[in-house]
Structure 1
Amino acid sequence: MDEERLRGELREAALAHRPDRARMLARVEQGMTAPPADRARAPFRARKPLGAQPPLRTPSGGRPRWTATAAVAATVVGVLGLGGLAVTALQDRPAPSAGVAAPGPAARAAGTIDLGSNQWWAQSDLAVTTEAEVTGVSVEVRVALNGGVVTTGHWQTRSADDFEVTVAEESGALVYRWTLKRGRTVPAGPHTFAAQYNHAEGTRDASGDTYTVVLTGRDGGRTTLRGAFG
């Protein structure tokens, strides 16, 4: 039984409870009028608190009648209070934290140098595979400025209308950025982002080239993927 259902049933039971007032009063009256010997055998007895003074006595030497009354009343209150205590204990239980971040969309990425690259020109391919539709995409490819690197273009497998693309030199690298436009989505599946550039003649060292991908799911969870092309 789940907690919400348990709370509801306990609450309904507490509200529906109606004490048998006539039976309770009869029990109290019986305790007040019963002979001393019978009261001694009664199931409810008032305990003497530790360190308390000797109990009060009536002129006849017996205990005052209110002792039995108080014992019965205290027991009834204790029994009736249990239902409310159970409901309160559940209601006061702290709810699960709402500040826990949602898990990001499952995805993977890999950076490679395209096989069509040559001794003057190259293309860095970033393959991103998403397991579910995403509502936010931010892709960054950094090509180290070694060997006369100059941009010659870029492309992606998704529609060009879905992304804002920028290329700029920053901190010793040629940086390509793709940002999914607001209100657009990218479905589950494989996607490619490619950065193209010229370089000095020969085989270029791509060990300093890196990528970063940030994906946002429909529930707001984010996944960040990082890697290199070396």
Structure 2
Amino acid sequence: MNDHITRRLREAAEAHQPDRARILARVERGAAGPPARHRTPPFARSWPRASLAGLAVAGILATGGLAVAGIVRTPPPSDTVTTAPAAPSPTVTPSPTPSAAPGSVAPVPAPAPAPATSTPTGPRPTPSASSHPQDGSLRSEGSVDSHSTVYWAQHNLVLKTAQPLTSLTVELRIAQTGDVRDTGNWRTLPSDDFTVTAQESGGVLVYRWVLKPGRTVPAGQHEFAGQFNHATGTRSAANDGYRVDAQSSSGPASVWGGFGPAR
């Protein structure tokens, strides 16, 4: 609204052309009045009127000129919208990278060390095609008993079956590594249900349990163990092994493997 009024006033001021003759005529008409009652000399009577007329004309011209000059010189309001300066974005300074000296070769970073791995205490057979610890519902695991010493040892076989067994033959085979002699054996199943033998043949001590005809091994976990003396020192069980042949309602099953360290 203020911009519109200012623009109209400026246009009117620029178009205004003062009529000096008309202004002087109006001043003279205003100065002419009824004759005074007291006669005064013509010169004295005309001087004040002329002075007043001149002053009035000068004042009108001066006022009009000032008004026009003020309107013309007043600059129009700027339409520019002032906005706050945006905050400068942080400057990221790259970290200095050490450069190699002229003619030298940059060093190659050393590879990170491989994580340390724990080594099991005691010999554990390496899995191979000769190991078959599970067959259907029959599972097995062989281990060296933790109570074994430098003179004597015991091998354990844990047998798990999900179905009753109507036929079972278990063999533990101990390699002759020096002075290996049988000192006993045991199992968690009733001793009357098995025929047990322990004999050496071809440099191997063999413990064998054979389920008697008409007997049944119930489903569950069972254990067999063979005990023997050996030459003084730490004995390796790498060449020892076991084999199990069984029969259930699902058919025959066989498992075999070696003896790892005690758990």
Unaligned stretches of 5+ residues in structure 1: 1-103
Match of residue 254 from structure 2? 224
* Distance (Å, rounded) in 1 between the aligned partners of 2:160 and 2:147: 22
Match of residue 172 from structure 1? 203
> Pairwise mapping of residues 1-40 of structure 1 onto structure 2 (< 5 A)?
none
The Cα of 1:150 is off from its aligned counterpart by 0.4
> Pairwise mapping of residues 38-187 of structure 1 onto structure 2 (< 5 A)?
106-187=137-218
* Contact kept in structure 1, 2:163 and 2:249, CA below 8 Å: no
- Deviation per residue, 1:174-230 (Å, 9 max, x gap): 0000000000001111100000000111111110001000110135x1000010115
* Contact kept in structure 1, 2:241 and 2:258, CA below 8 Å: yes
* Contact kept in structure 2, 1:105 and 1:216, CA below 8 Å: no
* Distance (Å, rounded) in 2 between the aligned partners of 1:105 and 1:159: 25
Give 1 or 2 for the bigger CA radius of gyration: 2
* Distance (Å, rounded) in 2 between the aligned partners of 1:139 and 1:158: 12
Tell me, yes or no, if structure 1 residue 206 matches structure 2 residue 206. no
After TM superposition, what 4+ stretches of structure 1 lie above 2 angstroms from structure 2?
A: none
* Distance (Å, rounded) in 1 between the aligned partners of 2:140 and 2:214: 24
The Cα of 1:105 is off from its aligned counterpart by 5.7
Give the counterpart letter for 2:155 in structure 1: S
Match of residue 50 from structure 1? none
Secondary structure in structure 1 of the residue aligned to 2:165: coil
Give the counterpart letter for 1:205 in structure 2: S
* Distance (Å, rounded) in 2 between the aligned partners of 1:105 and 1:130: 9
- Deviation per residue, 1:124-171 (Å, 9 max, x gap): 000000011110110011000102110000000001001000111112
* Contact kept in structure 2, 1:105 and 1:217, CA below 8 Å: no
* Distance (Å, rounded) in 2 between the aligned partners of 1:161 and 1:183: 12
* Distance (Å, rounded) in 1 between the aligned partners of 2:220 and 2:197: 24
Secondary structure in structure 2 of the residue aligned to 1:135: strand
Q: How many residues align?
A: 126
* Distance (Å, rounded) in 2 between the aligned partners of 1:175 and 1:192: 17
* Distance (Å, rounded) in 1 between the aligned partners of 2:249 and 2:202: 34
Unaligned stretches of 5+ residues in structure 2: 1-134
* Distance (Å, rounded) in 2 between the aligned partners of 1:150 and 1:141: 14
Give the counterpart letter for 1:114 in structure 2: D
* Distance (Å, rounded) in 1 between the aligned partners of 2:137 and 2:246: 9
Match of residue 226 from structure 2? 195
* Distance (Å, rounded) in 2 between the aligned partners of 1:170 and 1:142: 10
Match of residue 73 from structure 2? none
TM-score using structure 1 length: 0.53
- Of 210-219 and 176-185, more deviation after overlay is shown by 210-219
Give the counterpart letter for 2:254 in structure 1: T
State the superposition RMSD in angstroms.
1.2
Give the counterpart letter for 2:151 in structure 1: W
* Distance (Å, rounded) in 2 between the aligned partners of 1:173 and 1:191: 24
* Distance (Å, rounded) in 2 between the aligned partners of 1:228 and 1:112: 8
